Structure 1
Amino acid sequence: MKKWLIPVIIIAVVGFGLVSWYFGVKNGAIEVDQAVKKEWGNVETSYQRRNDLIGNLVKTVKGAADFEKSTLEAVINARAKATSITVDPTNITPEQLAQFNQAQSGLSSALSRLLVTVEKYPDLKVNQNFLKLQDELASTENQILTARTRFNESIEKYNNYVLRVPRKFVLSEYKEKEAFKAVEGAEKPVEVEFDFDNKPQ
């Protein structure tokens, strides 16, 4: 073998290795980015399920005589506001997440007030539709917590991937993404349990 071929072969091998690494990094970035979008979709699906259940809950409660109109209207308005806010998973900003979180928190507060008010209505407390919705709401709150946790885990993987050197130098188009944070005072989940031990006989 001629001596001049050795450096050419070395350069070709190194060049092939660098190109392979470059494409591997780019493909890896696509994977972690897609994972974030998928998990955000799961978050939205969980919240949509809650919004649908709240709509059914409002219909059930509306049937109760003399039920507080203002309490129902607060839930309806909060639900409308919560469903009107969308977040672009390709460009999640702290402002978008804060706005989304604020709207969902407002809906949670309105729902809590509605559920407390229900205690004054014995017929509602034994209504089978209402009892079923109570169970489904509790289950959905757990789904929301799980979806948010998984979303934050995917954000962590994404940020670790795109921000670490040397990948950071070839992934300049991939920006750091924000994780889901609880709104102030939202350390506790929405209370969706009722005291049905005192049912009227």
Structure 2
Amino acid sequence: MNSNVENLPPHVLRLVYKEVSALAADPPEGIKIYPSEEDITELHTAIEGPEGTPFAGGIFRMRLVLGKDFPAVPPKGYFLTKIFHPNVGHKGEICVNVLKRDWKAELGLKHVLLTIKCLLIHPNPESALNEEAGRLLLEDYAEYESRARLLTEIHAMGGTSGAPQDPNDGPQPKKHAGDPMKRAGPSAASVPAALVDIRPTLFQICPYVNPKTVVEIKQNT
């Protein structure tokens, strides 16, 4: 994708450079920033799969691309690591409201990164790009969890193309300590692990999540 450095006003470039530098120096927990000195309009990151989800133990590479109308228009987000997720298309494109109708210029890149990490904790089947993943999330969570975990193990763990080139750089993959749904007992077998294990935390770190949607997912599983 072509650089938009020459298309952005100098004051916007200064603000982007300042925010990216701050994020690289003090990144959000579980997120590593890889700024480019040559092209500040394309930001590469690595997101650690949240515990209690099918993505736990994986490192997911992602990029944000700032268009010529940024920050009036939101950046575009893409997963570079293959992932089975309702809101990630087959080419890695990410569908989340903060990158569409809920975008505000003052939100900033940190908010975008945190929202995408929250999307790994609580997918939104109402805006699915991967229709099969969205259907399984609502109708057969055990199968969804199995498919998502399999792709995590294949593509996001242990020196794959989705991991940082330097094994000591960025969040490190963790061995997954068992199946959280099995630990929760038979009565929770069809409930998303993220909602069983970390539901209180979910609404603290993901304020955009609609509690009604969470309840609907639990009732339909």
TM-score by length of 2: 0.25
Q: Which has more strand, going by share of residues?
A: 2
As a proportion of its length, which structure holds more helix? 1
> Which structure's CA Rg is the greater one?
1
